[in-house]
Amino acid sequence: MKHAVTFDLYKTDTRTKARRGCLHTPHGDVQTPVFMPVGTQGTVKAMKPEDVKTLGKEGAHIILGNTYHLYLRPGHELVKKAGGLHKFMNWDRAILTDSGGFQVFSLGKLRKITEEGVRFASYIDGSKHMFTPEKSIEIQNALGSDIMMAFDECAPYPADRSYVQDSLELTTRWLARCKAAHHDWERQSLFGIMQGGTYKDLRYESAMQVTEMDLPGYSIGGLSVGEPKELMYDVLDDCVDWLPKEKPRYLMGVGSPDCLFEGVERGIDMFDCVLPTRLARHGTALTSHGEVKIKNAQYAEDFEPLDSECDCYVCRHYSRAYLRHLFRENEILSSMLLSEHNLHFLVSTMENIRRSIEEDRFLEYKKEFFAKYGEF
């Protein structure tokens, strides 16, 4: 079977599990490790796609779309009629879509899980819907993403061992159904998702079941859902070794600078998170010296750029005083500029991480980064 998405592993760090690789997709190459900006509803919030392509030095190579949101509005059939998500949203690089699972599970009492799938009520109008593995694939086929994610059950944290065991087994059965429901493997690749919560033996069991399916990539799901970071890192340490070296590994929903470095160090290739754009809309900038809450009075007459070491569009043209003014006035340009800066920060940090792996100085770069960023 020829896969839409293939992975080349160029190099593994000599002192850590950090890897330098490349995903080849129908919409171009994605250099890894990679941070993927999230475009929940068919737009990376407050940014033109052209500007997403100027983030960092190379621009974002891949963005994320949300199956759940696009299914509810505007509807996957509509996106299909428009020629697929790439054309609909004017983005000609790679797209990864999630399965919609995480969002429907997050609905709490508004959803019910059965062997068949998940019934849920729309947050828009209360209408009843059902997601199944087959439905998730049908939607993602219509969206036309390069990478589709399997429909899984993401157990909450904390959760009983028996719940997590049942959940990971359901996830495996659903994965088999996803695989059976998908046909055009040359157009779109399906990634499997490992579950198992924070129980390492269950993680192992899930890894064995999921990798058995021989898919072009695997994700580690169910982490960063409320557990302490140290516990997440500890679980990751082992999990990664149970996934095949020649396949890409994706840690879902993770995107704070510390988690990115720790994830890369443990052999993760792909990350995504709404954090940078959400923080931006709430007036927080990520900078090489840590977070800047732009509304603070200390920036009122600060005519320096957001980050003096940043060469992004925002830092080349605007002062903190101006950005503070925009934020206080609730101007749309505030969200636009802070989103662009924050995404640039993560995309270019990831570019630096890639270079540091190539040059055998990943650990040194990590140390330099946090000496300034100040979180460690």
Given the rule CB under 8 A, which residues bind a copy of itself? 41-43, 45-48, 73-74, 78, 81-83, 88-90, 300-301, 303, 317-319, 321-322, 324-326, 328-329, 331-333, 335-336
Question: How far from chain centre, in Å, is Cα 247?
Answer: 17
User: Is 98 annotated as catalytic?
Assistant: yes
User: Is 302 annotated as catalytic?
Assistant: no
Least distance from C-beta 8 to a copy of itself, angstroms? 32
Buried b (16+ CB within 10 A) or exposed e, 197-211: bbbeebbbbbbebbb
Least distance from C-beta 283 to a copy of itself, angstroms? 14
Instruction: Output 135 or 324, the one with its CB closest to a copy of itself.
Output: 324
Map residue 33 onto helix, strand or coil: coil
Instruction: Output 46 or 215, the one with its CB closest to a copy of itself.
Output: 46
Surface-to-core class of residue 339, CB atoms within 10 Å of its CB (0-12 exposed, 13-18 middle, 19+ buried): buried
Match 């919560």 to its residue by tokens: 197
Q: Pick from 295, 335, 337, 277: which is nearest to 312 by CA?
A: 337
Name 223's Cβ contacts closer than 8 Å, sequence gap at least 6.
232, 235, 236, 251, 252, 254
Instruction: Output 84 or 117, the one with its CB closest to a copy of itself.
Output: 84
Least distance from C-beta 304 to a copy of itself, angstroms? 11
Q: Which listed residue (98, 146, 152, 307) is catalytic?
A: 98
CA gap 350, 356 in Å, rounded: 10
Q: Which listed residue (13, 51, 152, 272) is catalytic?
A: 272
Angle at 141 between CA 138 and CA 143, to 5 degrees: 110
Instruction: Output 75 or 374, the one with its CB closest to a copy of itself.
Output: 75
Surface-to-core class of residue 298, CB atoms within 10 Å of its CB (0-12 exposed, 13-18 middle, 19+ buried): exposed
Q: How far is CA 238 from CA 152, 243, 322, 362, in A?
A: 21, 10, 47, 20
Instruction: Output 162 or 330, the one with its CB closest to a copy of itself.
Output: 330
Least distance from C-beta 52 to a copy of itself, angstroms? 11
Least distance from C-beta 45 to a copy of itself, angstroms? 6
Q: Is the dihedral of CA 132, 133, 134, 140 positive or negative?
A: positive
Active site residues: 98, 272
